[in-house]
Amino acid sequence: MSNLKAYRVEDLDADCGCSTVVFAESRTRAKVLAMSTDTCEDAEYVHIRATRIPELDGNYRGHNEMDWYNTDDRRALVKLGWYCFEPDRDDCATCQVKEDCENYQDYLEDEARWLQEEKQ
């Protein structure tokens, strides 16, 4: 069993609000690993926030970072509120985790409401 823990890491100086999940032995190590991710590659160590996410500890599969393009990883992240940064709704319709995506389900509800309003 791995002693690695899941950490949400983000660049506090970035305007995008993006984050990713890394697996590390400690918060310090998570921040170091974060510097090698796309999300925090330009961040200074002191401007990286690492927050524990124990719900994802069991998702470690031999990689330092969760992979948004891996269906299992995406499903786990989406269930905790992650979503595509700039979603292409055509892609949403074919996404394997669309049923779990609150952002997409909200979009569908809004679209249905707009269509209903147009009919009136």
Domain boundaries defined on the chain = 1-81, 83-120
Instruction: Sort strands 20-24 and 48-52 into parallel, antiparallel or unpaired.
Output: unpaired
Number of neighbouring beta carbons within 10 Å of residue 50: 22
Q: Quote the pLDDT of residue 116.
A: 85
For residue 1, pLDDT over 60 is answered with no
pLDDT single digits (tens) 12-67: 998 888 999 999 999 999 999 999 999 999 999 999 999 999 999 999 999 999 99
Whole-model pTM: value is: 0.86
Band of the pLDDT at 117, cuts 50, 70, 90? confident
Produce one character per residue of 4-15: b if its CB has 16 or more CB atoms within 10 Å, e if not.
bbbbbbbbeeee
